[in-house]
Amino acid sequence: MRAGLAAPVDWYTRLATDPDDALRLIAARLLAGVATDEARARHSELAEAEAARLLAADRDATLVWLRRLERPAMLGWALLGATLATVPWGFVIGLADVLGRASQQAVVLAWAQALPAAAAVFALELSAAAFIGPPHYHPRRSLAGRLIATSERPARFARSRGLRTLLPSAALLAGVVALGIYAVTVAPWVWPIGTVVALAVWTVHRAVSWRLELSRLRARRAADRTGRPRGIVPAGPAPLYRTHRPPPRGGDR
């Protein structure tokens, strides 16, 4: 009878292992149907767990394959963002040098800082891309995606006609113009240093936020593998409530 069970049942195996004990054999014969039902249920649970494990393994392998395919495109977006951030330096510093408004010492300092600052920008962006990886890096956490999204805002502000959008756009444009004039006439070295500092702070923020999101994704994947619903807290013992008695009729006396 034990050989016909779909899955081993411990208590039935203990009953049927001793052929010299007649009481155990009689109990095993009487409980054969119960053991068969329990073995079928356990076999179905094991089959579902194995199917979920194989599906999770296939999904992980597919994700690894897709990440490998998208890695060159991710690195391309990282290089594009770093290039878009560093190209304006040459224009600003060259314009400051040609106009002669800024001091020669400030211009020389800006040219001396341009190359190491550009190297720092490329290193920060490539490290962020390698740490986050596809498909979560672009466009939400990439410098190129952020620059593209930022360049679309002035166009939306220009198409709008309300004062609630025109006033912020005018203030933003005035701030950019004032920063450009200050960088050209007084301190051209502000542009590369400010870019590196801002990108370093944003890179740390990207790394921390990605760590938190990755932990949530792993918890969700573990919940999917075990088949446990996400976001549901196991129920504990029911709280005790006092029965509410209605007040006596006729009011208090």
Q: How far apart are the C-alpha atoms of 40 and 119, rounded to whole Å? A: 64
Is position 9 within any domain? no
Q: How far apart are the C-alpha atoms of 231 and 235, rounded to whole Å? A: 12
**Between 77 and 100, residue with greater pLDDT:** 77
**Between 74 and 39, residue with greater pLDDT:** 74
Instruction: State percent of the chain over pLDDT 70.
Output: 70
Is position 213 within any domain? yes
pTM of the model: 0.61
**What are the Cα distances from residue 16, in Å, to 4, 6, 39, 40, 216?**
13, 16, 15, 18, 48
Is position 215 within any domain? yes
- pLDDT tens track for 194-252: 899 999 999 999 999 999 998 998 888 777 655 544 444 444 433 433 444 444 554 44
Averaged confidence pLDDT in the chain: 77
Is position 102 within any domain? yes
Is position 245 within any domain? no
pLDDT of residue 120: 96
pLDDT of residue 127: 94
Q: How far apart are the C-alpha atoms of 128 and 200, rounded to whole Å? A: 10
Is position 202 within any domain? yes
User: Region 128-152: what's the mean pLDDT?
Assistant: 87
**Between 9 and 90, residue with greater pLDDT:** 90
pLDDT of residue 92: 85
Is position 46 within any domain? no
Q: Do 92 and 190 touch, CB atoms closer than 8 A? A: no
Greatest extent of the chain over all pairs of C-alpha atoms, in Å: 109
Question: How many domains, in total, are found in the chain?
Answer: 1
Is position 231 within any domain? no
- pLDDT tens track for 28-68: 666 677 777 777 788 778 778 777 777 777 777 777 777 78
**Residue 111: domain span:** 70-226
